[in-house]
Amino acid sequence: MPPLTRRWSVRRVPLLVAAAACLVAACGSTGSTGSGQAVANHVHGAIEGTTGSDLLLATHYGLRLSVDGGTTWKSAPGLGDSMVAGIVRLGQSDAAAMQPMTDMPAGMHMTGPTGGVLYSTDDSHWTAAAGIDPTARVTALVAAPDGSTAWAAVLGQGIFRSGDGGRTWSEALPSPDPVLGLAVVGPDLLYVTDAGVWSTTTAAPARPAKPALSGTIGDITAWSACPTCVAVSLGGGGVATSADGGTTWKSQPFATSFTTLASVAGGVLLGMQPSPAQHDHGIWRSTDGGVSWTRVLDQPLVDRVYPGGAGGAILAFQWGITVWKSTDGGATWARSGTA
């Protein structure tokens, strides 16, 4: 989960002005370049739908739905064209984080909710959750691996918890500092601020949390290498990994700085550098915990991955939205269509 606020430093290039504008400005704060040109649609999160066979995409302009494993897509009802900044699966329901677009292009109007968290049991009808201001900006949203609990970071307030499928939320950890990422790993809750990674427990979140890893962090994700494993992308390039819930870390420097990071089956890590201005853009793959990396997809503006269900294909999403598919754990990719 997307990190929901991103700072990507890129220069504007021909034909990619709209996309680069959202890369330059933290995506989630604007819907246009500032000159009336809308950014290309792109994905902020991807999950299985409530039926277990559908796939849902949280995008900059509403929800997209696939009922055939990601081959074809259509607009999903309920949230209109509003920005869906994050989405998680919680047992028999889903929860979505909304964000306002403060600079809409001329002639465009949001037709759905613009803030807070909503929940749905059918992915068609969405209800505002209780406990979080419906106008609040949610900067991160994550679910426990078993879907029993969800955690949301609310700008200017702190971290909130839900244990009933996203219907109601209560403040779990007040924090004046913006929380840019969340991960649930074993009994631990890890969160990212501008200062680095912090660790507390899911059972009794408390401040001051333990400083787990200092420095600029691009993204954080639970890592499939073990139940207590977690990985982060480092602002200076490469990753850091932990096998004990963030208590100790191994830094693995690399020349490429990954804006987003994904974990897929078998302990494989996928790092994404979406900037069209970077020569090393695309998806990179590591099978040894970030020690070495191979570029497996040489395409710009790919910044989100759906890791696939049990034995299912991995999907990657390029601004537009172009869908790429891998059936071999992310080693090779083929274009699969558009969403």
Span 318-323, mean pLDDT?
96
Does residue 52 register a pLDDT over 90?
Answer: no
Q: Which among 32-36, 79-83, 123-127, 330-334 has the top mean pLDDT?
A: 330-334
* Residue with the two structure tokens 């607009």: 75
Q: What is the distance between the alpha carbons of residues 197 and 216, in angstroms, rounded to a whole number? A: 9
What is the per-residue pLDDT for 28? 44
Does residue 131 register a pLDDT over 70?
Answer: yes
Span 41-53, mean pLDDT?
84
What is the per-residue pLDDT for 7? 34
Does residue 310 register a pLDDT over 80?
Answer: no
What is the per-residue pLDDT for 81? 84
Span 266-273, mean pLDDT?
97
Does residue 244 register a pLDDT over 80?
Answer: yes
Q: What is the distance between the alpha carbons of residues 235 and 193, in angstroms, rounded to a whole number? A: 13
Does residue 238 register a pLDDT over 50?
Answer: yes
What is the per-residue pLDDT for 69? 81
What's the pLDDT band for 48 if we cut at 50, 70, 90? confident
- Cβ–Cβ under 8 Å, residues 76 and 56: yes
Predicted confidence (pLDDT) per residue in 216-231, tens digit: 999 999 999 999 999 9
User: In the predicted model, what is the mean pLDDT of the chain?
Assistant: 85
Span 242-271, mean pLDDT?
95
What is the per-residue pLDDT for 209? 73
What is the per-residue pLDDT for 259? 95
What is the per-residue pLDDT for 128? 94
Nearest to 140 by CA among 109, 180, 104: 180
CB atoms within 10 A of CB 181: 26
Q: What is the distance between the alpha carbons of residues 307 and 55, in angstroms, rounded to a whole number? A: 12
Span 139-162, mean pLDDT?
95
Does residue 339 register a pLDDT over 70?
Answer: yes
Does residue 302 register a pLDDT over 70?
Answer: yes
Does residue 100 register a pLDDT over 80?
Answer: no
Ordered by where they begin, the domains of the chain are: 17-338 (2.130.10.10)
Predicted confidence (pLDDT) per residue in 14-46, tens digit: 233 333 334 333 454 445 545 556 788 999 999
What is the per-residue pLDDT for 21? 35
Name the residue with higher pLDDT: 65 or 19.
Answer: 65
SS (H, E, C) 80-94: CCCEEEEEEEECCEE
Share of the chain above pLDDT 70, in %: 83
Predicted confidence (pLDDT) per residue in 170-197, tens digit: 999 998 889 999 999 999 999 999 999 9
